[in-house]
Chains A and B, each alone.
Chain A
Amino acid sequence: MNPLLLWFHKLGSPPYFYRLAGRLLPWLWALALAGLALGLYGGLFVAPRDYQQGDAFRIIFVHVPCAWMSLFVYFFMAANGFIALVWRIKLSETLAMAAAPIGAAFTFICLATGSIWGKPMWGTWWTWDARLTSELVLLFLYLGVIGLYHAIEDRRQAARAAAFLALIGIVNLPIVHFSVNWWNTLHQGSTVKLFGPSLIDARMLWPLLTMAVATKFLFAASLLSRARVDLLELESGKDWVRQIALAEEPRA
């Protein structure tokens, strides 16, 4: 077997993944916190005031990265759900289910901060605009996946059922993304473009992109630390988990 494939098989083994994730975690948290600090500093101190929105526009430095993450995490969850359903890899089930609460958190922040921005700028906390509605549906999809996972007794069956729901829900991702183009919405279109020049001042762009990278690291850190605990719970009958439990016994 070629070395990469061999490593991939090893990665799927819970004790190996547990140790590897444990080694990566401090670095991921450090990068996430450093990135957040830099991005928030840039967004609050360096970026100039918007000529129309004044300082209220600074909310985008938390709103937009979380909105991007709400889609990114969903895609990650559905992709792992697909792997779990097709190849029955236990680690993929764990990763998909660990991603769900993190995605829900990002989606909630996106909706809440958008609402807070909408009040002074649009004059309303909420409107049934295509972008807002599809993002709310995304939050319900996350909650549905989490709820289904916890409603079934057998952990592995639960993970597969929830992964199936996550896969169906992927149809909502293009709707969220293209809603601002497909419908005449109150929500503005994309300002930062992957292809072509962005319509934003460089002093506003770099803090935004820094926040986008920092939230990726934050997701990775939270994901690995959740997956580690879930593996401990899932494998609690196995010897390697027993050794960890006994080694960390608090001295009474």
Chain B
Amino acid sequence: MSEFLSMGGYGGYVWSAFAIFIVVLALDALAPLLKRRRVLRELRGRLRRTQKRNEENT
């Protein structure tokens, strides 16, 4: 196992390269999920405000 992890002495290089690959692509996948939550939350806020304004005016 430790022989596998050491990658013939190149362990630090190999594992950091694979880590960059996984972390960057995971962030890329996460970004639209966070944006979706933000967009829908803002829209609901806007809808509530217009509803309230309409109720006050009538």
Chain A residues packing against B (C-beta within 8 Å): 40, 49, 54-56, 58-59, 62-63, 66, 101-102, 105, 108-109, 112-113, 116-117, 119-120, 218, 221-222, 225-226, 228-229, 232-233, 236, 241-242, 244-246, 248-249
Given A226-B32, A242-B47, A59 and B17 touching (CB < 8 A)?
yes
What B residues does A248 contact at CB under 8 A?
Answer: 40
* Number of residues of chain B lying within 8 A (CB) of chain A: 28
CA–CA, A101 and B27, complex, Å: 11
In the assembled complex, which residues on chain A have CB atoms less than 8 Å from the CB atom of B46? 236
Complex contacts, A120 vs chain B, CB 8 Å: 10, 13
User: Which residues of A are found within 8 Å of B33, using beta-carbon distances?
Assistant: 225
B25, A105: Cβ atoms closer than 8 Å: yes
Interface residues of B (CB under 8 A from A): 7-10, 13-14, 16-18, 20-21, 24-25, 27-29, 31-33, 35-36, 39-40, 42-44, 46-47
B interface majority secondary structure? helix
Residues of B within 8 A of A108 (CB): 24
- Bound-state Cα–Cα, A112 to B8, Å: 21
A66 lies within 8 A of B21 (CB): yes
Indicate if the CB atoms of A229 and B39 lie closer than 8 Å.
yes
Pair A63/B17 contact, Cβ less than 8 Å: yes
The listed residue (A55, A63, A102, A117) touching B28 by CB distance below 8 A is A102
